Amino acid sequence: VHIEDSFTTCSGRVIPLQIFVEQENIDKCEHAMLSLQNAMRWDEQVYGREYDLDKFMIVAVNDFNMGAMENKGLNIFNSSCVLAKPETATDSAYERIEGVVAHEYFHNWSGNRVTCRDWFQLSLKEGFTVFRDQAFSADMGSRTVKRIDDVNLLRTLQFAEDAGPMAHPVRPQSYLEISNFYTVTIYEKGAEVVRMIHTLLGEALFRKGSDLYFDRHDGQAVTTEDFVQAMQDASGVDLAQFKRWYNQTGTPELTVTDEFDAVEQRYSLTVKQSTPKQSDELPLHIPLALGLLNPAGEEIHSQVLDVLAAEQTFVFEGIIEKPVPSLLRGFSAPVKLHYGYSREELVFLMKYDSDGFNRWDAGQKLAIAALQKNIQAYQAGDALSLDEMLIDTLRGLLTDDALDKGMLARMLMMPSEAYLGELVAPVDVDAIHSARQFVRVELAKALRNELFDCYQENLSDEDYRPDADEIARRSLKNMCLGYLMLLGEAQVLTLCAAQFRDSNNMTDSNAALSALVHSNYDGAFMEVKAAALDAFYNEWKKDPLVVDQWFSVQASDPSEGVFERVQALMAHEAFDINNPNKVRSLIGVFCNQNRAHFHRADGAGYRFLADRVIELDRKNPQVAARLLTPLTRWRKLTADRSGLMQQQLQRIKAQSALSKDVLEVVSKSL
Ligand code: ASP
Ligand code: ZN
């Protein structure tokens, strides 16, 4: 069955729009339809791209390996990227649908009208289209929050890929199976590369460049080289050195040092770049967005520096007092930046930086310092302790009414275990998990009253709306709830149970369920937890996408016994190894997001994953190869773990009749 609406293009043509779904989902198509109309309008306004056919269709299917596919005129979608109504879909599902519907629609120009000459050019359409959908979502919602979320993903997943055995340039030089190259490097790093071109050219020239690209290559199959060339020809900006971004592997590192000469009133910054993974590296062209703040917190200078050499010094004259630099604003390049900020300077930037992204990032750096101290203390067998400065700063934020709620929610969130693992080698999973858990519990204790008030102030009984303000309010409220539930207080438990029972939307129900399932209560509480899970399942068992959420909540449970529960859930009536969404929501979430348990010391988690990969390889090699990712990171782990992981990779490799997909990933990993 389908719903139908229409869109009138800028030249006045009326395009019928249809979304095809199974009968029981007919009431879950509105958000996708609205997203499609918004995307069509946005592509006309921002890129001057009008739709070209007389009709546009989307079809949702339950079994699909990817998010969706841009087949011309009839986009094929994983139902998880189409179906939403307030009672069944969370805010993040609403956001994902908006982004993916737009992404596939945008491919009509960046992918279909102008397509790839060969598979090595995959990022030509994917990187550019991700850049386009990110900008669209930023325009629909909150710009800074969107940037934070995108960078968070890049820094955890893509940086890890860049540091692992599957590392490859944005334009790969070889592959055995192209399905293995639908990666965060091709997509997300590819989008960052386009974003840097946008930064170097500015809005107007970038638009001139994209117009030229679409005009010049309409109907053709082209290369990333052609894309950059069009940008250069239209703008007059020399991008010759910039092109190296497409060919180099690994995450570049920038080390910044500074000097202040009070007598000469001169401030200078020295920037060194290197790309450790790239043996024959040549310096990249890196746009480094920068601001200088005087001691009163006022911005005295801002600029995008062109970093071109392996080492380069930038001099600023007429600076009377030593400034605090705000570096890599908006994450202007996909690099790791090192600068020796003091804790006081980070707190200062959190307060005064006019760049919202860097305000957040300063907070992350402060939290990372506190976490790393505890990771080391844990390893040394010393007592853990929490930085008072971090507590005070977060308290200040929680009581600051001027702060955007989405920003506050993200500033309260501690860096993930995965990201913390990116920052140190070798990765000590237990130390990272224990330190992070300790810090979260201590923050909850110290900020109990502020979190409690913030939770109460952000309750609402209005109808559900998936707009930026409401999404931000819910994310903040549920962030507070997650912290409060670490305390084991009866009063909080009552609130959480009430939210679970009474909420009118899945965002709040799911958050309450996660908080219940993931919390620190014991004894009789285990029954409350089991009852909540049962109630949830019984209410939603006919809705596969909600059942996926139910699996994920359990797979990400940090408490003891979760591994056994995950194994048992594989035999649950609702689990089906043939369905990619089920595989991802149970096995994928456990192995990727429940690191302390996946990496259990006896190696049973690794054996479990290897068994699933072997089983799946005969049915669905694409999903099997992707599922394998956590094992490929064995070199980063401490010796006790890495040996066990390696053994499982060898066991997979020894299987007869392995698919090309899995064979490529295992061979490159070993
Ligand atoms: N091209 C799709 C996308 O990224 C993915 C796929 O090939 O299925 O939109
Ligand atoms: Zn795509």
Three-state SS sequence of 27-66? HHCHHHHHHHHHHHHHHHHHHCCCCCCCCEEEEEECCCCC
419 pLDDT above the threshold of 80: yes
* Atom 9 of ligand 1: nearest residue by CA position: 69
520 pLDDT above the threshold of 80: no
**Minimum mean pLDDT among 32-46, 100-114, 209-223, 268-282: which range?**
268-282
424 pLDDT above the threshold of 90: no
For residue 111, the ligand 1 atom closest to its alpha carbon is: 1
22 pLDDT above the threshold of 80: yes
278 pLDDT above the threshold of 90: no
Average pLDDT (471-476) is 98
The label of the residue with tokens 């006896």 reads 602
Let me know: does 544 contact 62? Beta carbons within 8 Å.
Answer: yes
- Ligand 1 centre from 69 Cα, in Å? 4
Average pLDDT (634-657) is 96
* Atom 5 of ligand 1: nearest residue by CA position: 69
Average pLDDT (282-296) is 97
* Atom 6 of ligand 1: nearest residue by CA position: 69
Average pLDDT (124-151) is 98
Share of the chain above pLDDT 70, in %: 100
Q: From 61, 70, 187, give the residue whose CB has the most ligand 1 atoms within 8 Å, as the site to mutate.
A: 70
* Atom 7 of ligand 1: nearest residue by CA position: 69
- pLDDT-derived band of residue 421, with 50, 70 and 90 as boundaries? very high
What average pLDDT does the structure give for the chain?
Answer: 97
Determine whether the shortest distance from the Cβ of 70 to ligand 1 is under 6 A: yes
Query: SS3 breakdown of the chain: % helix, strand, coil, rounded to 5?
Result: 55, 15, 30
- pLDDT-derived band of residue 425, with 50, 70 and 90 as boundaries? confident
Instruction: Provide the pLDDT for residue 479.
Output: 98
Determine whether the shortest distance from the Cβ of 104 to ligand 1 is under 6 A: yes
What is the spatial distance between Cα 590 and Cα 555, in angstroms, rounded to a whole number?
Answer: 5
Peptide bond before residue 172 is cis, with ω within 30 degrees of 0 = no
* Atom 2 of ligand 1: nearest residue by CA position: 69
- Ligand 2 centre from 75 Cα, in Å? 11
Determine whether the shortest distance from the Cβ of 66 to ligand 1 is under 6 A: yes
* Atom 8 of ligand 1: nearest residue by CA position: 69
525 pLDDT above the threshold of 90: no
One of 70, 104, 161, 422 is an active-site residue; which one? 104
Q: From 61, 65, 66, give the residue whose CB has the most ligand 1 atoms within 8 Å, as the site to mutate.
A: 66
- Ligand 2 centre from 11 Cα, in Å? 27
For residue 187, the ligand 1 atom closest to its alpha carbon is: 4
Q: Where is 301: in which H helix or E strand?
A: strand 299-307
Q: From 74, 182, 184, 623, give the residue whose CB has the most ligand 1 atoms within 8 Å, as the site to mutate.
A: 182
Determine whether the shortest distance from the Cβ of 103 to ligand 1 is under 6 A: yes
471 pLDDT above the threshold of 80: yes
- Ligand 1 centre from 160 Cα, in Å? 22
Average pLDDT (27-51) is 98
523 pLDDT above the threshold of 80: no
Instruction: Provide the pLDDT for residue 273.
Output: 97
Residue 304 in tokens:
């995008």
Ligand nearest to the CA of residue 182, numbered in listed order = 1
- pLDDT-derived band of residue 403, with 50, 70 and 90 as boundaries? very high
Determine whether the shortest distance from the Cβ of 69 to ligand 1 is under 6 A: yes
- Ligand 2 centre from 127 Cα, in Å? 8
Ligand nearest to the CA of residue 77, numbered in listed order = 1
What is the spatial distance between Cα 413 and Cα 415, in angstroms, rounded to a whole number?
Answer: 6
- pLDDT-derived band of residue 637, with 50, 70 and 90 as boundaries? very high
- pLDDT-derived band of residue 279, with 50, 70 and 90 as boundaries? confident
Edge to edge, what strands does the sheet with 324-327 contain? 299-307, 286-293, 324-327
- pLDDT-derived band of residue 521, with 50, 70 and 90 as boundaries? confident
572 pLDDT above the threshold of 80: yes
CB atoms within 10 A of CB 359: 21
Q: From 58, 59, 69, 132, give the residue whose CB has the most ligand 1 atoms within 8 Å, as the site to mutate.
A: 69
211 pLDDT above the threshold of 80: yes
Digit-coded pLDDT (tens) for 579-619: 999 999 999 999 999 999 999 999 999 999 999 999 999 99
Ligand nearest to the CA of residue 69, numbered in listed order = 1
60 pLDDT above the threshold of 80: yes
- Ligand 1 centre from 97 Cα, in Å? 14
What is the spatial distance between Cα 349 and Cα 356, in angstroms, rounded to a whole number?
Answer: 10
- Ligand 1 centre from 66 Cα, in Å? 7
Determine whether the shortest distance from the Cβ of 188 to ligand 1 is under 6 A: no
Instruction: Provide the pLDDT for residue 230.
Output: 98
Instruction: Provide the pLDDT for residue 370.
Output: 97
- Ligand 1 centre from 118 Cα, in Å? 15
Q: Where is 437: in which H helix or E strand?
A: helix 429-446
The structure's pTM equals 0.97
Determine whether the shortest distance from the Cβ of 68 to ligand 1 is under 6 A: yes
Residue 184 in tokens:
């965060």
- Ligand 1 centre from 246 Cα, in Å? 20
Could you confirm whether 203 is annotated as catalytic?
A: no
Average pLDDT (186-214) is 98
Across 267-281, 317-331, 420-434, 487-501, the highest mean pLDDT is recorded for: 317-331
- Ligand 2 centre from 418 Cα, in Å? 25
- Ligand 1 centre from 68 Cα, in Å? 6
Instruction: Provide the pLDDT for residue 528.
Output: 86
Query: 609-646: string of b/e by CB count within 10 Å (b at 16+)?
Result: bbebbbebbeebbbbbbbbbbbbbbbebbbeebbebbb
What is the spatial distance between Cα 495 and Cα 515, in angstroms, rounded to a whole number?
Answer: 11
